[in-house]
Structure 1
Amino acid sequence: MTDLRLEREFAVSPERLFAAVTSRADLLRWWGPEGMDVPEETLDFTTTGPWFSVMRNGDGQRYKVSGEVTHVTPPKSVGFTWAWHDDTDRRGAESHVTFTIEETPRGARLVIDHRALGDDEISANHETGWTSSLNKLGALLGP
Protein backbone atom coordinates (compact mmCIF):
# COMPACT_ATOMS: atom_id res chain seq x y z
CA MET A 1 0.00 0.00 0.00
CA THR A 2 1.16 3.51 -0.81
CA ASP A 3 0.82 6.50 1.49
CA LEU A 4 0.74 10.18 0.57
CA ARG A 5 1.75 13.14 2.74
CA LEU A 6 1.27 16.79 1.77
CA GLU A 7 1.94 19.94 3.79
CA ARG A 8 0.85 23.52 3.25
CA GLU A 9 1.32 26.54 5.51
CA PHE A 10 -1.28 29.30 5.85
CA ALA A 11 -1.09 32.73 7.51
CA VAL A 12 -4.09 32.02 9.76
CA SER A 13 -4.56 30.75 13.29
CA PRO A 14 -4.78 27.00 13.89
CA GLU A 15 -8.40 27.52 14.93
CA ARG A 16 -9.28 29.22 11.62
CA LEU A 17 -7.50 26.53 9.62
CA PHE A 18 -9.29 23.81 11.58
CA ALA A 19 -12.65 25.49 10.86
CA ALA A 20 -11.76 25.68 7.15
CA VAL A 21 -11.09 21.95 6.92
CA THR A 22 -14.02 20.78 9.03
CA SER A 23 -17.03 23.09 8.63
CA ARG A 24 -19.46 22.48 5.79
CA ALA A 25 -19.57 26.14 4.69
CA ASP A 26 -15.80 26.29 4.22
CA LEU A 27 -15.45 22.76 2.82
CA LEU A 28 -17.89 23.59 0.03
CA ARG A 29 -15.62 26.44 -1.06
CA TRP A 30 -12.44 24.36 -1.48
CA TRP A 31 -13.38 20.66 -1.59
CA GLY A 32 -12.37 19.00 -4.83
CA PRO A 33 -9.86 19.92 -7.50
CA GLU A 34 -9.91 23.25 -9.31
CA GLY A 35 -12.65 23.36 -11.95
CA MET A 36 -14.97 21.13 -9.95
CA ASP A 37 -18.03 21.92 -7.89
CA VAL A 38 -19.90 19.82 -5.33
CA PRO A 39 -23.62 19.58 -6.22
CA GLU A 40 -24.41 16.85 -3.68
CA GLU A 41 -22.81 16.28 -0.29
CA THR A 42 -23.09 15.66 3.42
CA LEU A 43 -19.74 17.29 4.20
CA ASP A 44 -19.38 18.06 7.88
CA PHE A 45 -16.16 17.04 9.56
CA THR A 46 -17.06 18.68 12.89
CA THR A 47 -18.49 15.42 14.25
CA THR A 48 -17.98 11.70 13.71
CA GLY A 49 -20.26 9.85 11.34
CA PRO A 50 -20.86 9.17 7.65
CA TRP A 51 -20.16 11.63 4.85
CA PHE A 52 -20.21 11.73 1.06
CA SER A 53 -19.62 14.17 -1.76
CA VAL A 54 -20.20 14.22 -5.48
CA MET A 55 -17.67 16.30 -7.37
CA ARG A 56 -18.61 17.48 -10.87
CA ASN A 57 -16.23 18.76 -13.52
CA GLY A 58 -16.94 21.29 -16.27
CA ASP A 59 -18.04 18.53 -18.66
CA GLY A 60 -20.65 17.30 -16.18
CA GLN A 61 -18.76 14.14 -15.19
CA ARG A 62 -19.54 13.16 -11.60
CA TYR A 63 -17.22 11.52 -9.08
CA LYS A 64 -18.65 10.23 -5.81
CA VAL A 65 -16.55 9.56 -2.73
CA SER A 66 -17.74 8.63 0.75
CA GLY A 67 -16.57 7.52 4.15
CA GLU A 68 -16.87 7.85 7.87
CA VAL A 69 -15.41 10.59 10.05
CA THR A 70 -13.35 8.59 12.55
CA HIS A 71 -12.17 11.31 14.92
CA VAL A 72 -12.43 15.05 15.50
CA THR A 73 -9.92 16.69 17.87
CA PRO A 74 -10.27 20.50 17.64
CA PRO A 75 -8.14 22.35 16.66
CA LYS A 76 -5.56 19.64 16.04
CA SER A 77 -6.91 16.95 13.71
CA VAL A 78 -9.75 15.23 11.94
CA GLY A 79 -9.66 11.80 10.34
CA PHE A 80 -11.95 10.05 7.91
CA THR A 81 -12.16 7.03 5.66
CA TRP A 82 -12.29 7.53 1.89
CA ALA A 83 -13.61 5.33 -0.94
CA TRP A 84 -14.56 6.19 -4.51
CA HIS A 85 -17.82 4.86 -5.93
CA ASP A 86 -18.12 3.28 -9.35
CA ASP A 87 -20.80 4.02 -11.96
CA THR A 88 -23.21 1.67 -10.17
CA ASP A 89 -22.61 3.52 -6.86
CA ARG A 90 -20.65 0.61 -5.37
CA ARG A 91 -17.85 1.67 -3.01
CA GLY A 92 -14.34 0.68 -3.94
CA ALA A 93 -11.22 0.17 -1.85
CA GLU A 94 -11.12 2.19 1.36
CA SER A 95 -8.24 4.40 2.46
CA HIS A 96 -7.86 6.81 5.37
CA VAL A 97 -7.19 10.55 5.48
CA THR A 98 -5.99 12.59 8.44
CA PHE A 99 -5.84 16.38 8.45
CA THR A 100 -3.40 17.55 11.15
CA ILE A 101 -3.07 21.22 12.11
CA GLU A 102 0.24 22.46 13.52
CA GLU A 103 0.92 25.96 14.80
CA THR A 104 3.84 27.69 13.07
CA PRO A 105 5.58 31.04 13.65
CA ARG A 106 3.64 32.51 10.70
CA GLY A 107 0.28 30.82 11.26
CA ALA A 108 -0.64 27.18 10.86
CA ARG A 109 0.36 24.19 8.77
CA LEU A 110 -2.04 21.63 7.36
CA VAL A 111 -0.63 18.14 6.99
CA ILE A 112 -2.66 15.72 4.88
CA ASP A 113 -1.83 12.06 5.40
CA HIS A 114 -3.72 9.82 2.97
CA ARG A 115 -2.89 6.20 3.76
CA ALA A 116 -3.43 2.81 2.15
CA LEU A 117 -3.91 4.16 -1.38
CA GLY A 118 -3.09 0.96 -3.19
CA ASP A 119 -0.34 1.70 -5.70
CA ASP A 120 1.85 4.53 -6.96
CA GLU A 121 -0.53 5.52 -9.78
CA ILE A 122 -3.47 5.88 -7.37
CA SER A 123 -1.25 7.86 -5.00
CA ALA A 124 -0.11 10.16 -7.82
CA ASN A 125 -3.73 10.83 -8.84
CA HIS A 126 -4.64 11.68 -5.26
CA GLU A 127 -1.59 13.92 -4.94
CA THR A 128 -2.75 15.87 -7.98
CA GLY A 129 -6.28 16.17 -6.58
CA TRP A 130 -5.25 17.18 -3.07
CA THR A 131 -2.69 19.69 -4.39
CA SER A 132 -5.35 21.34 -6.54
CA SER A 133 -7.78 21.38 -3.60
CA LEU A 134 -5.10 22.97 -1.44
CA ASN A 135 -4.78 25.72 -4.03
CA LYS A 136 -8.49 26.44 -3.55
CA LEU A 137 -8.05 26.36 0.24
CA GLY A 138 -5.21 28.86 -0.10
CA ALA A 139 -7.44 31.18 -2.13
CA LEU A 140 -10.14 30.90 0.55
CA LEU A 141 -7.74 31.71 3.41
CA GLY A 142 -5.85 34.46 1.61
CA PRO A 143 -2.12 35.17 1.32
Structure 2
Amino acid sequence: MKDSETHELELIRDYPVSLDRLWRAVTEPRQLIQWFGPEGLYNGDDSPDFSRTGPWSCTMIGKESGDAFVLSGVVTSIRPPEGGKGHVAFTWAWHGPDGTRGHESHVTFTVEETAKGARLTLSHVALPDLESAQSHSRGWLSTLRSLDYFFLGPQTETPE
Protein backbone atom coordinates (compact mmCIF):
# COMPACT_ATOMS: atom_id res chain seq x y z
CA MET A 1 0.00 0.00 0.00
CA LYS A 2 1.37 3.39 -0.94
CA ASP A 3 -0.03 5.58 1.83
CA SER A 4 -2.66 4.42 4.28
CA GLU A 5 -3.21 7.98 5.53
CA THR A 6 -4.54 9.12 2.15
CA HIS A 7 -6.12 5.75 1.32
CA GLU A 8 -4.24 5.16 -1.92
CA LEU A 9 -2.68 2.04 -3.40
CA GLU A 10 0.15 1.66 -5.88
CA LEU A 11 1.23 -1.77 -7.11
CA ILE A 12 3.90 -2.44 -9.73
CA ARG A 13 4.56 -5.56 -11.79
CA ASP A 14 7.16 -6.22 -14.49
CA TYR A 15 6.38 -8.79 -17.18
CA PRO A 16 8.53 -10.42 -19.89
CA VAL A 17 5.97 -9.49 -22.56
CA SER A 18 5.78 -6.75 -25.17
CA LEU A 19 4.23 -3.42 -24.27
CA ASP A 20 1.50 -4.04 -26.84
CA ARG A 21 0.70 -7.44 -25.26
CA LEU A 22 0.38 -5.89 -21.79
CA TRP A 23 -1.75 -3.03 -23.13
CA ARG A 24 -4.18 -5.43 -24.79
CA ALA A 25 -4.38 -7.52 -21.60
CA VAL A 26 -5.44 -4.52 -19.50
CA THR A 27 -7.86 -2.94 -21.98
CA GLU A 28 -9.56 -5.55 -24.18
CA PRO A 29 -12.65 -7.40 -22.88
CA ARG A 30 -11.63 -10.76 -24.39
CA GLN A 31 -8.35 -10.55 -22.49
CA LEU A 32 -9.71 -9.04 -19.26
CA ILE A 33 -12.29 -11.79 -18.84
CA GLN A 34 -9.42 -14.28 -18.53
CA TRP A 35 -7.71 -12.67 -15.52
CA PHE A 36 -9.57 -9.62 -14.14
CA GLY A 37 -10.75 -10.23 -10.60
CA PRO A 38 -9.54 -11.76 -7.35
CA GLU A 39 -8.85 -15.48 -7.05
CA GLY A 40 -12.00 -17.42 -6.21
CA LEU A 41 -14.16 -15.26 -8.48
CA TYR A 42 -14.86 -15.37 -12.19
CA ASN A 43 -16.32 -12.78 -14.55
CA GLY A 44 -19.88 -13.18 -15.74
CA ASP A 45 -20.91 -12.35 -19.29
CA ASP A 46 -20.26 -8.62 -18.86
CA SER A 47 -16.47 -8.34 -18.87
CA PRO A 48 -15.21 -4.76 -18.53
CA ASP A 49 -14.11 -2.87 -21.64
CA PHE A 50 -11.29 -0.44 -20.90
CA SER A 51 -10.44 0.09 -24.59
CA ARG A 52 -12.74 3.10 -25.00
CA THR A 53 -13.99 5.99 -22.90
CA GLY A 54 -17.44 5.67 -21.42
CA PRO A 55 -19.30 3.47 -18.95
CA TRP A 56 -18.16 -0.01 -17.98
CA SER A 57 -19.46 -2.68 -15.63
CA CYS A 58 -18.83 -6.26 -14.68
CA THR A 59 -20.22 -8.93 -12.43
CA MET A 60 -17.82 -11.16 -10.53
CA ILE A 61 -19.26 -14.45 -9.33
CA GLY A 62 -17.97 -16.52 -6.42
CA LYS A 63 -16.77 -19.90 -7.68
CA GLU A 64 -17.95 -21.70 -4.55
CA SER A 65 -20.79 -19.49 -3.30
CA GLY A 66 -22.30 -18.36 -6.59
CA ASP A 67 -22.71 -14.90 -5.04
CA ALA A 68 -22.62 -12.04 -7.56
CA PHE A 69 -20.58 -8.88 -6.95
CA VAL A 70 -21.32 -5.99 -9.31
CA LEU A 71 -19.05 -3.05 -9.93
CA SER A 72 -19.11 -0.24 -12.45
CA GLY A 73 -17.56 3.02 -13.48
CA VAL A 74 -16.60 5.24 -16.36
CA VAL A 75 -13.39 5.05 -18.39
CA THR A 76 -12.25 8.67 -18.16
CA SER A 77 -8.93 8.66 -20.01
CA ILE A 78 -7.09 6.46 -22.49
CA ARG A 79 -3.63 7.06 -23.86
CA PRO A 80 -2.40 4.12 -25.96
CA PRO A 81 1.27 3.30 -25.36
CA GLU A 82 2.85 5.26 -28.16
CA GLY A 83 6.38 6.33 -27.34
CA GLY A 84 6.81 3.59 -24.74
CA LYS A 85 4.16 4.58 -22.19
CA GLY A 86 0.38 4.70 -21.94
CA HIS A 87 -2.49 4.56 -19.47
CA VAL A 88 -6.16 3.88 -18.99
CA ALA A 89 -8.02 5.53 -16.10
CA PHE A 90 -11.50 4.78 -14.81
CA THR A 91 -13.83 5.32 -11.89
CA TRP A 92 -14.66 2.34 -9.68
CA ALA A 93 -17.60 1.56 -7.38
CA TRP A 94 -19.09 -1.62 -5.94
CA HIS A 95 -22.86 -2.04 -5.90
CA GLY A 96 -24.76 -3.12 -2.81
CA PRO A 97 -27.17 -6.08 -2.73
CA ASP A 98 -30.03 -3.71 -3.58
CA GLY A 99 -28.14 -2.35 -6.63
CA THR A 100 -27.20 0.94 -4.97
CA ARG A 101 -23.83 2.17 -6.21
CA GLY A 102 -21.31 2.70 -3.41
CA HIS A 103 -18.39 5.09 -2.91
CA GLU A 104 -16.62 6.03 -6.15
CA SER A 105 -12.83 5.82 -6.31
CA HIS A 106 -10.35 6.05 -9.20
CA VAL A 107 -8.08 3.44 -10.80
CA THR A 108 -5.27 3.95 -13.32
CA PHE A 109 -3.36 1.24 -15.17
CA THR A 110 -0.10 2.73 -16.51
CA VAL A 111 1.94 0.59 -18.89
CA GLU A 112 5.49 1.29 -19.96
CA GLU A 113 8.24 -0.41 -21.86
CA THR A 114 11.20 -1.76 -19.89
CA ALA A 115 14.52 -3.28 -20.92
CA LYS A 116 13.11 -6.77 -20.26
CA GLY A 117 9.51 -6.32 -21.38
CA ALA A 118 6.76 -4.14 -19.92
CA ARG A 119 5.70 -2.72 -16.55
CA LEU A 120 2.21 -2.30 -15.14
CA THR A 121 1.67 0.31 -12.43
CA LEU A 122 -1.76 0.07 -10.85
CA SER A 123 -2.87 3.02 -8.75
CA HIS A 124 -6.15 3.18 -6.86
CA VAL A 125 -6.95 6.51 -5.20
CA ALA A 126 -9.79 8.19 -3.32
CA LEU A 127 -10.66 5.11 -1.29
CA PRO A 128 -13.00 6.11 1.55
CA ASP A 129 -11.11 4.74 4.55
CA LEU A 130 -8.29 2.51 5.75
CA GLU A 131 -10.47 -0.61 5.87
CA SER A 132 -11.45 -0.11 2.23
CA ALA A 133 -7.82 0.51 1.24
CA GLN A 134 -6.72 -2.70 2.97
CA SER A 135 -9.55 -4.71 1.41
CA HIS A 136 -8.79 -3.35 -2.06
CA SER A 137 -5.08 -4.01 -1.54
CA ARG A 138 -5.83 -7.69 -0.87
CA GLY A 139 -8.18 -7.81 -3.87
CA TRP A 140 -5.72 -6.16 -6.25
CA LEU A 141 -2.83 -8.36 -5.08
CA SER A 142 -4.98 -11.41 -5.75
CA THR A 143 -6.05 -9.99 -9.13
CA LEU A 144 -2.43 -9.35 -10.10
CA ARG A 145 -1.61 -12.97 -9.21
CA SER A 146 -4.26 -13.88 -11.79
CA LEU A 147 -2.53 -11.61 -14.32
CA ASP A 148 0.83 -13.19 -13.41
CA TYR A 149 -0.69 -16.60 -14.16
CA PHE A 150 -2.25 -15.28 -17.39
CA PHE A 151 1.19 -14.27 -18.67
CA LEU A 152 3.54 -16.70 -16.95
CA GLY A 153 1.63 -19.79 -15.85
CA PRO A 154 1.96 -21.19 -12.31
CA GLN A 155 4.63 -19.43 -10.26
CA THR A 156 6.31 -20.17 -6.98
CA GLU A 157 7.31 -16.53 -6.61
CA THR A 158 5.60 -13.28 -7.61
CA PRO A 159 7.41 -11.37 -10.41
CA GLU A 160 9.15 -8.18 -9.39
Q: Does the alignment reach a TM-score above 0.5?
A: yes
2:104 aligned residue: 94
Alignment gaps of 5+ in structure 1: none
- Please report the TM-score for the alignment, with normalisation by the length of structure 2: 0.86
Matched, 1:134 2:144: yes
* Structure 2 residue corresponding to 1:119, chosen from 116, 129, 136: 129
In structure 2, how many angstroms separate the alpha carbons of the residues matched to 1:55 and 1:119? 23
1:40 and 1:80 map into 2 onto residues whose CA distance is 20
1:103 offset after TM fit, Å? 1.4
1:60 & 1:93 partners in 2: Cα distance?
24
Structure (1 or 2) with the larger CA radius of gyration = 2
Structure 1 segments of 4+ aligned residues over 2 angstroms from their partners:
none
The share of aligned pairs that are identical, in percent, is 45
Higher relative contact order (CA 8 A, sep 6+): 1
* Cα-Cα RMSD: 1.1
Runs of 5+ consecutive residues of structure 2 not aligned to the other structure: 1-5, 154-160
> What's the TM-score once normalised by structure 1's chain length?
0.96
- Count residues in correspondence: 143
**Which residue, 58, 61, 82 being the options, matches 2:92?**
82
**Matches of 2:131 and 2:16, distance apart in 1:** 32
Q: What is the CA distance between 1:61 and its match in structure 2?
A: 1.3
Asked if the contact 2:14–2:119 (Cα under 8 Å) also holds between the matched residues in 1, the reply is yes
CA contact (8 A) 2:32 2:47 kept: no
After superposition, residues 47-62 of structure 1 pair within 5 angstroms as 47-57=52-62, 58-62=64-68
> In the TM superposition, what is the alpha-carbon distance from 1:40 to its structure 2 partner?
3.6
User: For the residues of structure 1 that align with 2:42 and 2:59, how far apart are their CA atoms?
Assistant: 8
